[in-house]
């Protein structure tokens, strides 16, 4: 049985930091708190999309959710780097 609920997978596509905060403090998702000490909070602040990819891979392996989140991560970072270089 998968530990990451559907709401977490859907919300983390658009709002990764908020979904991590809700999952970490309120939803008691065991896979988020099972990472070593400060790994989850540090990655959640610095690169939340990478942390979500790690969590999905640990929970579901190579799944369509992992591919979808990886595509969204690449698109977001490409759009933000293109916007930063235009300024």
What is the model's pTM? 0.80
Residue ranges of the domains in the chain?
6-86
Which residue matches tokens 């698109």?
A: 75
Q: What is the pLDDT of residues 57-79, one digit of tens each?
A: 988 899 999 999 999 999 998 88
25-40 pLDDT tens trace: 886 677 776 677 777 7
Cα–Cα distance, 67 to 21 (Å, whole number): 23
- Distance, CA of 9 to CA of 12 (rounded, Å): 5
Residue 5 CA, chain-centre distance (Å), reads 13
């Amino acid at each position: 049985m998968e530990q990451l609920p559907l709401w977490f997978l859907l919300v983390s596509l658009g709002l990764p930091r908020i979904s991590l905060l809700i999952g970490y403090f309120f939803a008691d998702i065991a896979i988020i708190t099972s990472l070593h000490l400060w790994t989850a909070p540090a990655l959640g602040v610095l690169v939340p999309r990478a942390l979500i990819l790690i969590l999905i891979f640990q929970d579901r392996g190579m799944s369509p959710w992992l591919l979808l989140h990886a595509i969204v991560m690449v698109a977001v970072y490409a759009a933000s780097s293109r916007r930063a270089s235009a300024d």
